[in-house]
A and B are shown apart, each in its own frame.
Chain A
């Protein structure tokens, strides 16, 4: 474990990769590992990149990495793809667009499947961010479809979140219902050479006009495949980051992240201890038989755990 931590803090690839596996699979030693690296975290710029499937997130991420590398920054990428709800397996294909960086020591890319357990992804993704942070990555990019609470949670912890949109996916109602207006700090309208991009931008602007008490996100046109607009996008990202710092929003975000981490572990711990109790099955059975209400069941479990009964 000490070797692993030392290697990771020295920025070595294999220890970081192994440490991520420990965290992702909840292996023994996870707690000790996180305890040792936690004080070394908090330095990286967290950048979320989200948007619908096929919007060009991976290609855009690839091009953003190029710019960051030109500026001499080291980059960590967490590329999230969904797990199959049927088999639990996953095909993680985001790397296809980023393989030009495979041999660059300054870029560490890790694919993660959503694995559909409660709060699971957000929790382990945050831990993976900590590991990359401790390993000295200057910028950590989290790329995800951003659908579902778990993924929205991850995106929310980013200092700056880029929402990638493309023309032709639907009208303004789609924009409104997806919840992207709330999470976007910066918009990238990708594939901007396609029909409908002007319309999409004007619809976005109209929606943004209704945004109150929040800074209006800037909109950038990009054509990621041929590197158009990426310089401007990266500048826009940093400009947002600076504003977050100035307004004191960053501290608020950090506290929010800490709270959501704490909550995830709290829920997990309570669930684990409860389900490990001998009487747990019996409580479930009595609720099923309508002998007691679920709330009464919770009281019983809490008493069993030595906790105070709810009022």
Chain B
């Protein structure tokens, strides 16, 4: 049978702007993926624990508070700690261009800025998830 791509869409940190995360969730669903949405104000620890229990292929992080440089790499580090470094992590939100290289170096596979077509995000996930 066909393999379903499972994606966790999560909002780390304290901002409550979840429109973007919901739009992305919906778009991924319409692309045939199974999306777990956990709501706003999640800690990196909660996000990683959820990702491990749900055995997701990918995590999408949305952050509009400016705390992405701390929160996104923390998620990647915790995944490594749990032996789940094969999970594809991508991010989105209000993220200054100059922060992107650092985030990528920290293990965030891609950053999607405002104005990104959901098609691009879908294609990126489909092309990059590793399904064991």
Q: Are B37 and A96 in contact (CB under 8 A)?
A: yes
Q: B55 to chain A: which residues have CB within 8 Å?
A: 17-18, 20-21
Which residue of A is nearest B46, CB measured? A102
Among B35, B45, B46, B49, the residue within 8 A (CB) of A91 is: B35
Residues of chain B with a CB closer than 8 A to A18's CB? 55
Main secondary structure of the interface of B (DSSP, over half): mixed
Q: Is the CB of A87 within 8 A of B32?
A: yes
Cβ contact within 8 Å between B54 and A17: yes
The complex places the Cα of A96 from the Cα of B46 at a distance, in Å, of 11
Are B30 and A84 neighbours in the complex by a CB distance under 8 Å? yes
Q: Does A53 have its Cβ within 8 Å of any Cβ on chain B? A: no
- A84 to B28 alpha-carbon distance, docked (Å): 12
Say whether B30 contacts A110, CB under 8 Å.
Answer: no
Indicate whether A129 reaches chain B with its CB closer than 8 angstroms: no
The smallest beta-carbon distance between B24 and chain A, in angstroms, is 11
The answer, yes or no, to whether B117 is at the interface (CB within 8 Å) is: no
- B54 A14 Cβ-Cβ under 8 A: no
| Count, A-B residue pairs, CB within 8 A | 83
Taking a contact as CB atoms under 8 Å apart, the answer to whether A93 and B37 are in contact is yes
Q: A17-B54, A17-B55 are in contact. Are A90 and B49 (CB under 8 A)?
A: no
B82 at interface, CB cutoff 8 A: yes
Q: How far is the CA of A25 from the CA of B50 in the complex (A)?
A: 19
A89 touches B1 (CB 8 A): no
Given contacts A13-B53, A87-B29, contact A99 B1 (CB under 8 A): no
Q: Which residues of A contact B42 (CB under 8 A)?
A: 99, 102
- Asked whether A99 and B38 contact (CB < 8 A) given A17-B54, A25-B3, the answer is yes
Interchain nearest-CB distance for B41 vs A (Å): 9
Q: B38 to A96, Cβ gap below 8 A? A: yes
Beta-carbon contact of A14 and B83 below 8 Å: yes
- Judge if B52 is at the interface, Cβ distance under 8 Å: yes
Option from A91, A93, A110 in Cβ contact (under 8 Å) with B53 = A110
The distance from the CB of A26 to the nearest CB of chain B, in whole angstroms, is 5
7 A-B pairs in the complex with CB atoms less than 8 angstroms apart: A14-B82, A89-B34, A91-B26, A91-B37, A92-B34, A103-B49, A113-B34
